[in-house]
Amino acid sequence: MRYSNLYVPTLKEAPADAEVISHKLLIRAGMIRKLTSGIYTYLPMGLRSLNKVATIVREEMNRAGAQEISMPMVQPGDLWEETGRWQFYGKELLRIKDRHGRDYCLGPTHEEVVTDLVRGEVNSYKQLPINLYQVQSKFRDEIRPRFGLMRGREFVMKDAYSFDADDAGAEASYKAMYAAYSAIFERLGLTFRPVEADSGSIGGSFSHEFMVLAETGEDTIAVCSACEYAANLEKAEVTGEVKPCLDEGPMMVEVATPETHTVEEVAKFLNVHKMQVIKTLLFDADGEAVAALVRGDRELNDIKFKNALDCAELTMASPEQVQEWTGAPVGFAGPVGLKVSRILADNEIKGATDFVVGANKADTHLRHLNLARDVEAEVQYADLRVITEDDPCPRCGGQLTMPKGIEVGHVFKLGTKYSEAMDAKFLDQNGKEQLMIMGCYGIGVSRVVASCIEQNHDENGIVFPPPVAPFEAIVLCLDPKKEEILGKAEEIYNIIEASGADTLLDDRIERPGVKFKDADLVGYPIQIVVGGKGVKNGIVECKDRRTGEKIELGLDNFERDFVAWRRDVWCGWGLTDGDADLDSCR
Amino acid sequence: MRYSNLYVPTLKEAPADAEVISHKLLIRAGMIRKLTSGIYTYLPMGLRSLNKVATIVREEMNRAGAQEISMPMVQPGDLWEETGRWQFYGKELLRIKDRHGRDYCLGPTHEEVVTDLVRGEVNSYKQLPINLYQVQSKFRDEIRPRFGLMRGREFVMKDAYSFDADDAGAEASYKAMYAAYSAIFERLGLTFRPVEADSGSIGGSFSHEFMVLAETGEDTIAVCSACEYAANLEKAEVTGEVKPCLDEGPMMVEVATPETHTVEEVAKFLNVHKMQVIKTLLFDADGEAVAALVRGDRELNDIKFKNALDCAELTMASPEQVQEWTGAPVGFAGPVGLKVSRILADNEIKGATDFVVGANKADTHLRHLNLARDVEAEVQYADLRVITEDDPCPRCGGQLTMPKGIEVGHVFKLGTKYSEAMDAKFLDQNGKEQLMIMGCYGIGVSRVVASCIEQNHDENGIVFPPPVAPFEAIVLCLDPKKEEILGKAEEIYNIIEASGADTLLDDRIERPGVKFKDADLVGYPIQIVVGGKGVKNGIVECKDRRTGEKIELGLDNFERDFVAWRRDVWCGWGLTDGDADLDSCR
C-alpha cells in the first residue's frame, strides 16, 4: 500500500479531552476519531489494527471448536423480561421503542438471544456440546464514557456462548476457552495474566479475567510471587490466621468525641492506632438494613460483602436511613444497640477486644469494646475486606505483589442461570429432560487495541507488537521525486511484502523529519529507510521500533538478511510469525 | 471443515411466514433464523455466504481506490438536524434517547456522519478526492418487514461516500464506483442490469440502480431490446410524440353517471374506451392542493409527479380534502372549476378533445371535454405517467421489455446537498472556499445473498454460484463408519481444498439419501460422492449442482481431472476462479 493513497491524518497535538495515553495516541496517529461521547469512528489504520486482533481471535476460536455466527444488535425486550434483566440491567441497557411501540434494546451482551436460538434448535444430547461466537459492535450506555477505546459506549466485542449436556462437559468447554484466550493474548504479543474473578452481575459459578498488565490499568490484581495464584482484587481471598486476644480487656466506656467523623479523626482524638478502631458501614440490601464491620485501617470489599449477604441490590444507606437505624447523624454508627437486620464482621476482628466503635449517638464513641462480650446482636464473621500486599497468598502463603491491569477478556461458567430462566432443555441419553449448562466468554476487541498501546508506547508514540500494528513494516522513501530512489524503495517494498510482512511505502512528498516522526508515532515495528546516500552506498537502514536499534543491510543480500533480521525483531517480542518454534529465537 | 463439527440445522419444511423462495430456502438450509420481525441471526453457513459477498465487495472497492473505515451505528440526532433529515426521514429512522435524555438514532445510512468526519479533517484541495466506505449492520424500521433478508429491518450494507473538489472529479468517482459495482456483480456470478434511477429522498443529481434479474423481483425495469437503455420504471421517461386532435370536438355537456366511481365503471356506463376518460388525482403537496391528470388507461408515476412539483412531501388527498376542493364526494373530481393551486397533466393528453372527466358534482361527469377550451385554470404539461411496453425506448425508439428485478446496489451523485447543509468546505488552488462535491454508493450485502437465491434455485433447493456458496464443494462420504471409505473421502477432500475450493466433508452418520438432499438444499456447486462401490471400482461421482450433470472421475488421476472439471463448472456460470481469462472457457 502506498502512503499517498492512504488516509492517515496524524496530529501533533492530542485533543484536550484525551486523558489516557492510548486515547491520545490513537487520535494523534490518525487511527480513530470521536463522533460523540464514547462513540468513535475507526479510520483506515485503526480498522486495520482492529481487524488484525479480530482475525487472531477468530482463528483461535475456530481452532477451539467454536463456530462463528452473527446475531442481531437490536434485541426484543420480551427476551430480557424472561431472564429478569429488563429490570435488573439498569441504565446501561439502551432501550428503544420501534414504530409500533414495541420494546427493544441495543445488545450490550447476547445471553438472551443465543439461549433463545439454541432452545429452538437443540433438543437432544446428540446436538451438544455447541459453542457459538460472534464479533460485533455492542452498546453499553456508560454513565461516564472515557479513555477513548478503553471505556466507550459503542465497542467491538467477541462474545462466545457454550452449551453442554453436563457439568463435566461445561468444564471442558470452559477450559478450552481459557486455553484459547491464553493463545490469543500470547499471539498478540501482550504481557497478560489470567486472574480469578468474581462473576458479577452476569451471575454464574466461576470465572477468570484476562488482564493486560499496564501501569495505567484501572484494575489492581493480586499476584503471588511464589506460586501461580493471581486474582482480581475483588475476588482475592484473605486467609491469614487471626489470633484471638487472650484477655477480655477493660470494661467498655462511652467517651465524647466532638466533631470527629472519620476513622483518622477518631484515632487521632483518642490517641489510638487506626487498627484499634472498627468501622461500622451501613447498607440497604434488597430493602433490609445491614451493617458491615471492618478494622479502621482496612477497606470493605463490596463484592465480598454482597456475596456474603447473597443479595441482589446493595446500596449505601442514606443519611436518613443512618439516622433511623442508629439514632444519630452520620459518623457515629457502631454495633452496640444498632437497629439493623444483620451484622456481618470481617474475620480479622473475630475475638477482638479493646476496640473503639461509634456509640450510635452524636459526637460519641465507645472505648474498650469487646465484640463478643458487648454486642448483643448476632454477629456473623466472613472474609469481607480488600486484600493488601501485607497479606499472605491465599494458596501458598507467599508474598503478594499488586500490579495494575486492564481487563481484556473474561470467561464465565454460567451454569443453568439462563437455561433455567428461559427453559432451554434437552433430552438426555435416558430420554429425560435436562437443563443445558452454559458458559460465556468475552473479549473486548477494541479495548485490546487500546491496551496494546497502554502497555507499549514511549515519548515518540506507539510501539505496536508486530501482530497488532496496522502495517508491520514501513519503507520510508526519503526522496520520492527521484525516480531511482523511488524505484529502489519499491523493490525493497516488494521484497518485504513477499516475506510476509504487510508493508506501507511512504512515498509522500514530505521532509524526512516528518516521515520519521509519523513512523514512530504510528509505531510500525519495522522501519526501513531508503535514501539517496544509502542507495549510492548500496545499503538501507533498518530500525526496530521497540528497541530503537538500527542496523544497515546491504542491498545485494537484502532479501536473505531481511528475513533473518525480521525474525530477530519478532523474537524480541517473544513471538514468531507463523508456527515456527519460539525456542529457535534463543 | 467436517460436517460433524458444523452447525447446519436443515429443515424439511419452511416456516409459515416465509413468503418468498429465498426466505424459505435460507431457513430450510439452516443459514438464518428469525429473532423477531425483520431481524435475523446468521448461522455459520449464512455468515459464510455473507462474508464471501463482503470479501468480493471489499476487494473491488479497494481496487477502485476507496478506503475502508468503520463508523458508529449510533448517531447523534443533532447531525441529522443539520441536514433537516431528523424531521424528514420519517418513522424508518429508529430514534433513541440515551440515559441523559440526548437524541440519537440507529444509522440507516451515514451521509451525516461521514460528512461530519470529512469536514473536520479535509481543508485543502490537496486532500481530495477521498472515498471512504464501510461494511456494517444498518437499521431501518420498515413499516412491514418481509421476505426474510430481502426487506429486513436490520441488514448488512456496504456504503461508500466520495468527496471531490469539482464536478469532473465527482463524475470520475461516480464512474469508478459504477465500474466497481459491475465488476462485483459479475464476479458474484449474477445476471444483473445497471439501470437509470430516480435519486429519491436521498437527493442528488443522477443515479443508477444495479438490478439482479429475477421473476420474483419487486421492481420492474424498462429495458430496450435495440440499444443499451435500461431504467427503473419510476425513472423511465415517456417520449413518444403526441399528435394533437385536429378538430375541437363537440360542445362539453354534463351527464348523470349514478354510482360510477372508477374509470372502468364510467367508461362502461358511457360506452367509451378507458383511454377517452381522464383521471383527476388529488394530492396534498407540502400543504398545497394539487391535481394530476392522466389518461384513464394509464398509471400516474408518483415520483415523476413529485419531481415535477418539486415538493418535499406528497400525500393523497383525504376524503375531506376531496370534498373541500371539488365540492363532491370521492370519485367525481375533474379539472373544470377545481379549487386547487396547481393542475399538472400528462404530456399525452395535451391538446386532447372529446374526453370524459368528473364534474366535481356527485354522480355527474362531463362529456366532450376539450382541455384547452374548457378548463379555465392554467394546466402545466409534463411526463407524469408510468411507461408501458407499448411505449418506444426514450433513447432510440426501439421495442421495450419489462423484466422484474431486485435492487442490490445504488450509486448516487449527490452534488453539494450534504456539504452545503453541513458546511463541508475546502480551499481550492486559488485559496478560495469551495463546497465538496459528494457521491454515495450502497450495496445491500445481505440482500445480495437472498437475490442470488431468488435468481438461482430449483425444486430441490438453492443453486449457489460458486463465489457465494457457503462452501464451493462438498464431499459426501456415504459410509463414514468404514475406515477405508472415510480415509478415501479425506484424501479427496484434501485434493479439492488444495485446488482452491473451500470444501465440506460430510462425515455424518446419516443415510445417503439425507446427505444428497441436504447437499442439494444448501446448493453446494460441486458435489463429490465417495461410496463403497465407487472406491472399489476406483472412481468417484462428481455432480454439477447447476446443470445436475454427473461425471465419474478415476481416483488415479483425480487431481488433474478434478481441476479441469472444476474449471468447466465455473465456466458454466460465466466465471473463472481468479484472474484466468473467461475466453479460455469457450
Mean pLDDT to the nearest integer, A427-438: 96
**pLDDT tens digit string along A371-407?**
889 999 999 999 999 999 999 999 899 999 999 999 9
Chain A residues in contact with B130 (beta carbon < 8 A): 7
Tell me whether B144 touches chain A (CB under 8 Å).
no
Give the minimum alpha-carbon distance from A327 to chain B in angstroms, rounded to a whole number. Answer: 36
Tell me whether A1 touches chain B (CB under 8 Å).
no
**pLDDT tens digit string along A258-312?**
988 899 999 999 999 999 999 999 999 999 999 999 999 999 999 999 989 988 7
A68 conformational bin, left if phi > 0, alpha if psi -120 to 50, beta if neither: beta
Instruction: Supply the mean pLDDT for chain A.
Output: 93
Structure confidence at residue B586 as a pLDDT band (50, 70, 90): low
Asked if the model's pLDDT at residue A579 lies above 70, the reply is no
For the domain made up of A14-217+406-454, the CATH class stated in words is: alpha beta
Contact A44 B68 (CB under 8 A): yes
Instruction: Supply the mean pLDDT for chain B.
Output: 93
User: Is CATH 3.40.50.300 the classification given to domain B14-188+421-454?
Assistant: no
For B:306-335, CB contacts with A below 8 A are none
Residue A582: its pLDDT value, please? 63
A310 conformational bin, left if phi > 0, alpha if psi -120 to 50, beta if neither: left
Residue B206: its pLDDT value, please? 80
Contact B40 A137 (CB under 8 A): no
Asked if the model's pLDDT at residue B69 lies above 90, the reply is yes
Asked if the model's pLDDT at residue B385 lies above 70, the reply is yes
Asked if the model's pLDDT at residue B88 lies above 90, the reply is no
Q: How far apart are CA B584 and CA B467, in angstroms?
A: 19
Mean pLDDT to the nearest integer, A569-577: 91
The residue extents of the domains of chain A are: 14-217+406-454, 253-382, 471-585
Name the nearest CA neighbour of B266 among B256, B474, A534, B139.
B256
Tell me whether A72 touches chain B (CB under 8 Å).
yes
Residue B91: its pLDDT value, please? 86
Percent of chain B with pLDDT over 70: 97
Contact A116 B35 (CB under 8 A): yes
Residue A424: its pLDDT value, please? 97
- For chain A, the residue count is 586
Stronger pLDDT, B483 or A353, i.e. the higher one: B483
Mean pLDDT to the nearest integer, A146-150: 89
Q: Which of A108-112, A244-248, B70-74 has the lowest mean pLDDT?
A: A244-248
Tell me whether B73 touches chain A (CB under 8 Å).
yes
Q: How far apart are CA A451 and CA A210, in angstroms?
A: 12
Cell 485533543 locates to A15
Residue pair B224/B398 in contact (Cβ under 8 Å)? The answer is yes
B253-382 matches B14-188+421-454 in CATH topology:
no
Nearest Cα residue in chain B from A139: B74
For the domain made up of B253-382, the CATH class stated in words is: alpha beta
Percent of chain A with pLDDT over 90: 85
Cell 437475490 locates to B451
Cβ-in-10-Å burial (0-12, 13-18, 19+) of A215 comes to: exposed
Asked if the model's pLDDT at residue A179 lies above 70, the reply is yes
Residue A382: its pLDDT value, please? 94
Name the nearest CA neighbour of B499 among B518, B481, B526.
B526
Structure confidence at residue B327 as a pLDDT band (50, 70, 90): very high
Supply φ then ψ for residue B281, to 5 degrees.
-110, 130
Tell me whether A560 touches chain B (CB under 8 Å).
no
Alpha helices in B396-444 (DSSP H): 417-421
Q: What DSSP designation does A439 have?
A: E
Contact A36 B71 (CB under 8 A): no
Residue B581: its pLDDT value, please? 63
Nearest Cα residue in chain B from A123: B9
* Contacts A–B by Cβ distance under 8 A: 118
Instruction: Compute CA distances A184 → A62, A181, A286, whole Å.
Output: 12, 5, 40
Asked if the model's pLDDT at residue A586 lies above 60, the reply is no
C-alpha cell of residue A431: 430420554
Cβ-nearest to A41 among B7, B44, B70: B70
Q: Which of A136-150, B68-82, B200-214, B472-486 has the lowest mean pLDDT?
A: B200-214
Name the CATH superfamily housing domain A471-585. Anticodon-binding domain (3.40.50.800)
Structure confidence at residue A518 as a pLDDT band (50, 70, 90): very high
For B:88-117, CB contacts with A below 8 A are 91-92, 94, 96, 98-99, 106, 113, 116-117
Residue B177: its pLDDT value, please? 97
Chain A residues in contact with B154 (beta carbon < 8 A): 72-74
Asked if the model's pLDDT at residue B580 lies above 80, the reply is no
Residue B125: its pLDDT value, please? 96
Percent of chain A with pLDDT over 70: 97
Tell me whether B69 touches chain A (CB under 8 Å).
yes
Mean pLDDT to the nearest integer, A564-577: 93
**pLDDT tens digit string along B201-257?**
555 458 999 999 999 898 999 999 999 899 988 889 898 777 766 777 889 999 999
**pLDDT tens digit string along B127-174?**
999 999 999 999 999 888 888 999 899 999 999 999 999 999 999 999
Percent of chain B with pLDDT over 90: 85
